[in-house]
């Protein structure tokens, strides 16, 4: 069923191709109108919405950070009181972790993975839409509660007993724990979706050993989500039950234990960092390969590093709890694990630097963001080795040193590559080029502003400034470095704003990008920009790791029925064609199911009777969702 043809899959020459495209465009047409907006399930559309939504939350989280920096600008400041400040830092942390970083990384995966592996959609388009709406509703809940002054105020980690009903009456903590429920649902759905998509829908010939590193990173991350999320789900459920129906999981007075919360939370909380960080590494690999114009140095070590990081990532949660006084032998184990996770990260850094050194560099904006990433991330990694050491951690834990460290690894390790990725893939998303000049300026502002903001915090922490304080006395002498940090925060803000200006102005007036502005190696650059809803007119076949750099004629899959939404299922290891799979059309039910979830969870804030209510609503939605479609002829694939 595969034949070699000379034409590229997207080549419009020839009436046969044009006819095929017309049929596919009709089969995969987007839903129209207001109703259509809510029933669309195209992965490109949903992922685009999710990326935009995540960046809206990023902006909101950024504004909260600036407000906090204004408050801390000078000692004994009266810009805001402790109640407002506590709500802001809790919402800032929760937003950046749950509503920005994880969703945006998954959204980039949902958009790019099907394109990169040469298929037309994610495996479960309706589940994908459901994941988006659940995430959206979760964010809505948090922000409605923040703007009505009932935002959660016990930190993004919500330690018990501070978050128990005795010390945190009202609905604030409940809002937080339900936000967790929404993001868990969304992240787990997307992770399952990506795993199946990556393992079963790869283009024929794209064996695991030929998969782009970005796809590897998404695969490993998705598995991490599947193993990490249940832990926090359990924890937040216990918390909700303690608060709502009077159980005593965390109440030490009657045999519960507050430390149980910390174990469950950090068993999720630490892998969460890698869930954010690994997809970013995939983006770095994509950018480095493209702009070095050569294969990556050490593909196998790179893949093994990703996998090793994922395994080790689950073995170091206790380094958040060194000050609780756990047995020493256990602490040494977690110190060792925390330090050893620097090895796979180091190996990847060395491989990228070697690739750059042996490449023919094209110094475009995306590559500058990668350079910034390497510098900042190495500093963050080294301060990470410091906090892995029990004695040093006992001093710097819960101080501004850790604030500095976590922003070096999360902004340096994830946001810089992400912004590099946005600059890299924006032409594919929109069909237009970003301004190189504005891109370099935004990078310079962000890089300088970032270091001005966060480097002084290392010193503040060592000198004794604890985290999460809304003010400090003048006599502490913390004023000058805090002033510097606030100044830096605004420079950083200008940098991010310039990125936004660049994106908006390019979206409306940028130069047309063409299909492949960077002469890249991966398959997404072989379709038009932006990709049509059916993505590939003919599914491509793959003969090497760097699909578009392979010399010789391209091959495509033929004989798939353009009148049905078909994708090709291939084997997990070698991507040998197996059978044709029919995807469902657009549907309103994922949105309605997400709405039912939202109603259930909001009612759950007030009464446990939400559980049966949710059961009924859920059953109705699932019936609608899975209602049998009109029968169609199953098309069995011929043997290849």
Partner 1 sequence: MALGLAALANACDYRRGALDPISPEALTIDILWWVFFWTSLFVLTGVLIALAFALYRGHARGKSSDTRAELTPDAALERRTERAVLAASALSVVILVALLVGSVFGGRALFRTPQAPLHAKVIAHQWWWEIQYQGKTDSDSVATANELHLPAGVPVDLELHAADVIHSLWLPNLHGKRDLIPGHTSHLVLRPTRPGRYDGHCAEFCGLQHARMELSVTVEPPEVFSRWLTEQRRPAAAPAAPDARRGAELFARGPCALCHNVVGSEASASAGPDLTHVASRPFLAAGALPNSPLNLRNWLSDPQAFKPGAQMPPTGLRADELDDLVAYLETLR
The footprint of partner 1 on residues 533-572 (CB under 8 A) is 544, 546, 549-551
Is 471 in contact with 77 (CB distance < 8 Å)?
Answer: yes
Tokens describing residue 464: 């004794």
Based on the shown chain and the rule CB under 8 A, indicate whether residue 77 belongs to the binding site for partner 1.
no
Tokens describing residue 493: 């803000």
Residue 441 CA, distance from chain mean position: 25
User: CB of 633: closest distance to partner 1 in angstroms?
Assistant: 43
CB atoms within 10 A of CB 273: 19
Q: Give whichever of 34 and 300 is closer to partner 1, judged by the CB atom.
A: 300
Based on the shown chain and the rule CB under 8 A, indicate whether residue 323 belongs to the binding site for partner 1.
yes
User: CB of 73: closest distance to partner 1 in angstroms?
Assistant: 14
Q: Give whichever of 22 and 343 is closer to partner 1, judged by the CB atom.
A: 343
User: CB of 78: closest distance to partner 1 in angstroms?
Assistant: 10
User: CB of 383: closest distance to partner 1 in angstroms?
Assistant: 7
Task: Choose the binding region for partner 1 from 237-245, 297-305, 420-428, 447-455 (rule: CB under 8 A).
Answer: 297-305
User: CB of 262: closest distance to partner 1 in angstroms?
Assistant: 9
User: CB of 342: closest distance to partner 1 in angstroms?
Assistant: 6
Q: Give whichever of 516 and 561 is closer to partner 1, judged by the CB atom.
A: 516
Helix, strand and coil in the chain, % to nearest 5: 65, 5, 30
Nearest to 89 by CA among 168, 18, 39, 156: 156
Angle at 587 between CA 525 and CA 568, to 5 degrees: 45
Residues 353, 172: Cα–Cα separation, whole Å: 47
582 DSSP β-pair partners? 566
Angle at 587 between CA 583 and CA 591, to 5 degrees: 120
What is the dihedral sign for C-alpha 512, 218, 274, 283? negative
Based on the shown chain and the rule CB under 8 A, indicate whether residue 3 belongs to the binding site for partner 1.
no
Q: Give whichever of 91 and 121 is closer to partner 1, judged by the CB atom.
A: 91
Mark residues 382-401: x for contact with partner 1 by CB under 8 A, - for none: xx-xx-xxxxxxxxxxxx--
Nearest to 549 by CA among 318, 212, 248: 212
Mark residues 476-495: x for contact with partner 1 by CB under 8 A, - for none: xx-xx---------------
User: CB of 336: closest distance to partner 1 in angstroms?
Assistant: 6
Cα R_g (the chain), whole angstroms: 25
Residue 567 CA, distance from chain mean position: 26
Q: Give whichever of 325 and 634 is closer to partner 1, judged by the CB atom.
A: 325
Q: Give whichever of 241 and 378 is closer to partner 1, judged by the CB atom.
A: 378
Tokens describing residue 569: 């299922």
Looking only at residues 496 through 535 of this chain, which bind partner 1 when binding is defined by CB under 8 A?
519, 521
Based on the shown chain and the rule CB under 8 A, indicate whether residue 588 belongs to the binding site for partner 1.
no
Based on the shown chain and the rule CB under 8 A, indicate whether residue 292 belongs to the binding site for partner 1.
yes
Is 591 in contact with 612 (CB distance < 8 Å)?
Answer: no
Tokens describing residue 613: 């209510």
Q: Give whichever of 66 and 548 is closer to partner 1, judged by the CB atom.
A: 548
Q: Give whichever of 157 and 581 is closer to partner 1, judged by the CB atom.
A: 157
Residues 595, 591: Cα–Cα separation, whole Å: 6
Based on the shown chain and the rule CB under 8 A, indicate whether residue 331 belongs to the binding site for partner 1.
yes
Residues 215, 194: Cα–Cα separation, whole Å: 9
Q: Give whichever of 95 and 290 is closer to partner 1, judged by the CB atom.
A: 290
Looking only at residues 347 through 366 of this chain, which bind partner 1 when binding is defined by CB under 8 A?
347, 349-351, 353-354, 356-363
Q: Which of 27, 241, 247, 295 binds partner 1 (CB under 8 A)?
A: 295
User: CB of 225: closest distance to partner 1 in angstroms?
Assistant: 27
For residues 175, 176, 180, 185, the Cα torsion angle rounded to the nearest 10 degrees is 20
C-alpha pair distances (Å), 202 with each of 112, 220, 302: 13, 16, 20
Based on the shown chain and the rule CB under 8 A, indicate whether residue 149 belongs to the binding site for partner 1.
no
Residue linked to tokens 């919360």? 261
Q: Half-sphere exposure (CA, 13 Å, Cβ side) for 128? A: 32
Q: Give whichever of 33 and 552 is closer to partner 1, judged by the CB atom.
A: 552
Residues 86, 159: Cα–Cα separation, whole Å: 14
Q: Which of 11, 19, 83, 559 binds partner 1 (CB under 8 A)?
A: 83
User: CB of 422: closest distance to partner 1 in angstroms?
Assistant: 22
User: CB of 301: closest distance to partner 1 in angstroms?
Assistant: 8
What does the chain come to in residues?
640
# chain residues binding partner 1, by CB under 8 A? 93
C-alpha pair distances (Å), 582 with each of 2, 113, 349, 585: 19, 19, 41, 9
Task: Choose the binding region for partner 1 from 133-141, 191-199, 312-320, 370-378 (rule: CB under 8 A).
Answer: 370-378
User: CB of 199: closest distance to partner 1 in angstroms?
Assistant: 27
Q: Which of 161, 230, 614, 618 binds partner 1 (CB under 8 A)?
A: 161
Tokens describing residue 320: 């958040």
Nearest to 138 by CA among 89, 189, 62, 192: 189
Mark residues 443-472: x for contact with partner 1 by CB under 8 A, - for none: -------------------xxx-xxxxxxx
Q: Which of 52, 63, 343, 573 binds partner 1 (CB under 8 A)?
A: 343
Mark residues 43-62: x for contact with partner 1 by CB under 8 A, - for none: --------------------
Residue 262 CA, distance from chain mean position: 24
User: CB of 322: closest distance to partner 1 in angstroms?
Assistant: 8
Task: Choose the binding region for partner 1 from 37-45, 203-211, 320-328, 531-539 (rule: CB under 8 A).
Answer: 320-328
User: CB of 393: closest distance to partner 1 in angstroms?
Assistant: 8
Q: 547-551 long-range CB contacts below 8 Å, 24 or more apart?
A: 547/118, 547/206, 547/210, 547/521, 547/522, 547/523, 548/516, 548/520, 548/521, 548/522, 548/523, 549/521
What is the dihedral sign for C-alpha 113, 119, 124, 126? positive
Looking only at residues 166 through 225 of this chain, which bind partner 1 when binding is defined by CB under 8 A?
167
Residues 610, 616: Cα–Cα separation, whole Å: 10
Q: Which of 32, 473, 563, 579 binds partner 1 (CB under 8 A)?
A: 473
Q: Give whichever of 373 and 534 is closer to partner 1, judged by the CB atom.
A: 373
Task: Choose the binding region for partner 1 from 144-152, 279-287, 376-384, 628-636 (rule: CB under 8 A).
Answer: 376-384
Looking only at residues 226 through 285 of this chain, which bind partner 1 when binding is defined by CB under 8 A?
252-253, 257-259
């Amino acid at each position: 069923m595969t034949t070699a043809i000379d034409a590229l899959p997207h080549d419009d020459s020839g009436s046969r191709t044009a006819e095929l495209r017309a049929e596919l465009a009709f089969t995969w047409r987007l839903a129209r109108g207001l109703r259509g907006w809510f029933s669309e399930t195209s992965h490109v559309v949903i992922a685009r919405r999710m990326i935009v939504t995540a960046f809206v939350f990023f902006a909101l989280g950024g504004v909260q950070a600036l407000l906090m920096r204004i408050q801390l600008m000078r000692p004994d400041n009266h810009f805001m009181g402790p109640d407002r400040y506590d709500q802001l830092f809790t919402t800032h942390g929760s937003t950046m972790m749950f509503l920005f970083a994880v969703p945006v990384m998954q959204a980039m995966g949902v958009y790019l993975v099907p394109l990169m592996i040469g298929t037309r959609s994610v495996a479960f388009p309706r589940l994908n839409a459901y994941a988006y709406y659940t995430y959206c509703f979760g964010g809505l809940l948090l922000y409605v509660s923040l703007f009505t002054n009932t935002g959660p105020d016990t930190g993004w980690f919500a330690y018990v007993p501070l978050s128990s009903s005795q010390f945190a009456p009202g609905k604030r903590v409940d809002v937080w724990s339900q936000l967790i429920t929404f993001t868990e649902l969304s992240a787990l759905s997307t992770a399952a979706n990506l795993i199946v998509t990556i393992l079963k829908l790869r283009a024929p010939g794209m064996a695991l050993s030929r998969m782009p590193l970005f796809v590897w990173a998404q695969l490993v991350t998705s598995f991490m989500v599947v193993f990490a999320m249940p832990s926090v789900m359990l924890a937040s459920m216990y918390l909700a039950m303690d608060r709502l129906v009077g159980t005593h999981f965390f109440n030490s007075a009657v045999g519960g234990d507050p430390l149980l919360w910390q174990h469950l939370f950090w068993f999720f909380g630490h892998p969460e960092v890698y869930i954010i960080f690994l997809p970013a590494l995939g983006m770095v690999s994509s950018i480095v390969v493209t702009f070095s114009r050569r294969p990556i140095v050490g593909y196998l070590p790179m893949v093994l590093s990703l996998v090793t990081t994922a395994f080790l990532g689950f073995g170091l949660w206790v380094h958040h709890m060194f000050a609780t006084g756990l047995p020493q032998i256990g602490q040494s184990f977690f110190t060792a694990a925390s330090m050893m996770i620097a090895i796979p990260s180091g190996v990847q850094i060395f491989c990228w630097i070697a690739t750059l050194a042996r490449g023919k560099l094209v110094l475009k904006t995306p590559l500058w963001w990668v350079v910034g990433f390497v510098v900042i991330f190495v500093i963050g990694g080294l301060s990470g080795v410091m906090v892995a050491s029990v004695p040093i951690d006992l001093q710097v834990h819960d101080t501004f040193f850790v604030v500095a460290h976590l922003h070096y690894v999360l902004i340096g390790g994830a946001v810089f590559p992400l912004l590099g990725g946005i600059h890299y893939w924006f032409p594919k998303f929109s069909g237009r080029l970003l301004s190189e000049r504005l891109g370099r300026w935004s990078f310079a502002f962000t890089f300088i502003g970032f270091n001005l903001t966060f480097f002084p915090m290392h010193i503040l922490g060592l000198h004794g400034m604890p985290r999460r304080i809304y003010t400090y006395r003048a006599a502490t002498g913390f004023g000058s470095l805090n002033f510097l940090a606030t100044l830096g925060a605004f420079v950083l803000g200008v940098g991010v704003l310039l990125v936004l200006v660049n994106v908006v102005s390019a979206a409306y007036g940028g130069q047309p990008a063409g299909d492949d502005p960077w002469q890249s190696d991966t398959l997404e650059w072989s379709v038009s920009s932006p990709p049509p809803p059916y993505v590939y007119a003919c599914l491509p076949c793959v003969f090497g790791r760097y699909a578009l750099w392979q010399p010789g004629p391209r091959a495509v899959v033929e004989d798939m029925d353009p009148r049905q939404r078909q994708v090709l299922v291939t084997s997990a290891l070698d991507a040998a064609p197996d059978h044709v799979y029919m995807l469902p059309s657009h549907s309103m039910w994922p949105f309605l199911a997400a709405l039912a979830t939202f109603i259930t969870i909001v009612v759950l804030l007030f009464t446990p009777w939400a559980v049966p209510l949710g059961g009924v609503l859920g059953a109705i939605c699932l019936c609608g969702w899975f209602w049998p479609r009109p029968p169609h002829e199953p098309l069995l694939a011929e043997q290849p």
